[in-house]
Chains A and B, each alone.
Chain A
Amino acid sequence: MTPSPAWARALRALTLLAIDPEGLRGLTLRARAGPVRQAFDTALARLPGPARRIHPDIGDTQLFGGADIAATLAAGHLIHSAGLADSPARLILTMAERTPSALAARLAQLLDQSPLHTLVLFDEGIDAEETAPQTLCERLALHVTLDDIRHDAAPALMPAAADLAEARARLAGVTHTPEDIATLTALAASFGIDSLRAPWLALRAARALAASEAHAQVTQEDLREAAELVYPARATQLPQDPEPEQPDAPPEPEDQRQSETPDIPDDLLIAAVAALLPSALLDQLAQRGATRRAAGSGAGARRKAHQRGRPLPARQGAPDGRGRIDLIATLRAAAPWQPLRRRTRPDAPGVIIHAADIHLKRYEDRADRLVIFAVDASGSSALARLAEAKGAVEFLLAEAYSRRDQVALIAFRGMGADLILPPTRALVQAKRRLGSLPGGGGTPLAAALGAALTLARQSEAHGLSPTLALLTDARANITLDGRGDRAEAAKDTSTMARLWRAQGLPAIVIDISARPGPEPAHLAAEMNARHLPLPRADARRISTAVTSALGV
């Protein structure tokens, strides 16, 4: 069995990482756990240098070192424990798509400050919006996607360690021309990659490739392969036809050497990168930058927290660097034992405290609330009252802002429902997307409920408290599989509505039908939601009504 092209690229990326870890900083692997990833993991383990596996829940103390409180207490003097960041290593972060932004920020800082650390992200996300934090991906040169590969297409064929060592020795001698820089930069620009880290990392990759191929100078082939490894995951647009840009691009002051005007990268390069663009490029664009999750202190459900909120009684626990030690409770726990302990250690200074006495502070915090707006933009409602519905949503958005809620926007029309704004606090975006929402087509209500349900479950897993505001006339006429069949559509809608009810999440159905009918009230009853007929031309009143209905 011949290795698949994607696998060959993955091995290539690993080779480059072994040759120039300082320059390339690391690698993002997007693949679900399975034999293929296992094979990759095995190959990764064969890279030279120490490697450490970390997980998204790792504490600050483990990562950056700190006082080892248990050992300190036992010894009676301060004992520091070294963190993983103290010694240069390849950090392998598994389940990177669940990395909290705090850890991502610390790791990014570590990458910026210590050139000897490299980072490998194992991103196991399933949906397009479940991705490793952009702060980290941006800093790592290489991106590899290994889904949809048969495991027998993934033979382990890494270069021998001696070859890698030779290539590393050659790296410093590799030269490149100014034209190479121009080509890579222009190529990045044509794919809409704004960050200037990308061409820089691509240049490093090209040089590592040249070293691995024993070229004395970077060749066109190296450039192409480097671009294939670095650019596809960052692209934000398909290349435009470069011709019209040519006339106004160079301002050409006369001292500028004319020979240096950037040559537009040849079509070959563009085609090579374009072939590797993720299939759902445009879908992913909507997600970019919106991967932020629950921060806390919102209006959502109560949960336990380490740092803030309303205090709860202290509990016994091991200090992990995140919880704060409750000194009073700790002393109170230790006090009754002092005479006994004094007998075994008569010369110990102060209070004798054992690790088991330590109590941690606990707080009750509130999760962020997520308001999912599902807006019916079908023909039946668009004609009548879509504009009014948009007005109402805008009022609700302004309220969400004042409460620091997150919002998400689902629009449904035609054949299905689209998540047009994933959960975010950037309300300007919400407003912009809402304003440009076209109307017309059928009413795929069941699909909309399905999309809202999926989003609600995902956001719950991320610690948000979702609520749904469904603006519809409830005249469903498109089934879940996209056929126009009113009876079937009603049945699907009712199934989805009951699924929502089973989830037990708050919802409100806002009736925007032109003529009053029984459907919205019926739908609301099935979802166990409040039913609220949209008052004519009074967006402010609806906003008050929704706020009180959602119980805030």
Chain B
Amino acid sequence: MTAAFPFSAIVGQDDMKRAMILTAIEPGLGGVLVFGDRGTGKSTAVRALAALLPPIRMIDGSPINAERPEDTPDWSTAPLGEMVERPTPVVDLPLGVTEDRVTGALDIERALTLGEKAFQPGLLARANRGYLYIDEVNLLEDHIVDLLLDVAQSGENVVEREGLSIRHAARFVLVGSGNPEEGELRPQLLDRFGLSVEVRSPQNIEERIEVIRRRDAYERDTEAFMVTWQAEDALIRDRILAARSALRTVQSPDEVLRDCATLCIAIGADGLRGELTLLRAARALAAYEGDAAVTRAHLTQVAPLALSHRLRRDPLDEAGSATRIARAMAEVWG
């Protein structure tokens, strides 16, 4: 496996990069949805982010990447080893995956050959404490989507099938990508994603050329390229780490809460998840920028990310959602 393309070397796509950094600071945001054409660097960005993040400490051999021995589920039969540092897990959830592979299921081989009832963990176990990346999330079959929704919300994977009754932690950041031309995402799933971004190829020739140039440099001499960008990546990593520890101390004044609420009412977002995500994202951004309190400037930056997929919409409506949010912000806050 060659080194992942450095995160800081991705040209443009600032919204996508910002959204990903915010989820890295505050995993509670509930993931990112990236909608855009093919070849715009969606999966490159996800993998780059994982490589950028500091490694997690876990017990060697733990099926759910647990950090403490008491977190290891009792069904785990693998011997536990030393504490090791592993890169943040990024698990790909391919289309057409079966339910068994996602949740885990009865280990058929062991059941048939040894007559033992053993649990074979699935992708959700592997994604614990990391990222679950779904390419073409809008084409994922409905029953898998239902299952993911449930786990993503509760942070726990419950398997009740084939005589097994198993539960284990499954806390992961959901990153979905897709091409809206190919089909809609169900509103239920849309709402569970904390942030959403629309990406498109840079329309400026100069930028496009820069993309190819960097890609070329990366492929021709990966090591030299990594060295060039390592410093930048390290800078972002340090800022993320600093922001994570500063997150608790960032103040959110009452007027900011009021701003969140009025904006969400103005755009008619269902439920309160909109306000919560908006506030959390703004707080993460404030922490990232080293500010002590959330201000309206932070809200303005994250509102399109946090709200554009929560607009109450008719399936046949085609108005650009980012513009609608910008309009609402201008109206409500003046």
Contact = CB atoms under 8 A, between A and B. Distances in A.
A138 B42 CA distance: 14
A350 B116 CA distance: 9
A72 B182 contact: no
Contact of A78 (B39, B109, B219): B109
B184 A425 contact: yes
Interface stretch (A121-129, A195-203, A455-463, A538-546): A195-203
A257 to B, nearest CB: 11
Contacts of A112: 43
Contact of A307 (B37, B98, B114): B98
B278 to A, nearest CB: 26
B316 A194 contact: no
B114 A197 contact: no
A426 B180 contact: yes
Interface string A221-254: 0000000000000000000000000000111000
B205 interface: yes
Contacts of B114: 349-350
Contact of B139 (A197, A198, A292, A427): A292
Nearest to A289: B181
Interface residues of A, number: 76
Given A105-B94, A428-B316, A290 B38 contact: no
Nearest to B183: A425
A489 interface: no
A178 interface: yes
B192 to A, nearest CB: 18
Contacts of B95: 101-102, 104-106
Contacts of A296: 141
Contact of B205 (A185, A203, A288, A349): A185
A141 to B, nearest CB: 12
A3 interface: no
Given A297-B141, A325-B108, A350 B115 contact: yes
B182 A292 contact: yes
Contacts of A349: 114-115
A427 B111 CA distance: 47
A424 interface: yes
Contacts of B97: 102
Interface stretch (A26-34, A393-401, A471-479): A393-401
Contact of B213 (A105, A178, A198, A429): A178
A115 interface: yes
B82 interface: no
Interface in B159-217: 162, 179-184, 200-201, 204-206, 208-209, 211-213, 215-216
Given A307-B98, A428-B318, A196 B183 contact: no
B113 A189 contact: no
Contact of B209 (A134, A182, A429): A182
A181 B108 contact: no
A262 B39 contact: no
B26 interface: no
A350 B110 CA distance: 11
A102 B206 CA distance: 36
Contacts of A289: 179, 181-182
B41 interface: yes
Interface of A: 23, 67, 69, 72-73, 76-78, 100-106, 108-109, 112-113, 115, 134-135, 138, 178, 181-182, 184-186, 188-189, 194-200, 203, 249-251, 256, 261-262, 288-290, 292, 295-297, 307-308, 322, 324-325, 327, 330, 349-351, 353, 394, 397-398, 401, 404, 424-429, 431-432
Nearest first, the 10 closest Cβ-Cβ pairs linking A and B are A102-B96, A195-B39, A350-B115, A105-B95, A289-B181, A197-B39, A401-B315, A425-B183, A194-B201, A431-B316
Interface of B: 1-2, 37-41, 43, 92, 94-100, 106, 108-115, 135-136, 139, 141-143, 162, 179-184, 200-201, 204-206, 208-209, 211-213, 215-216, 219, 314-318
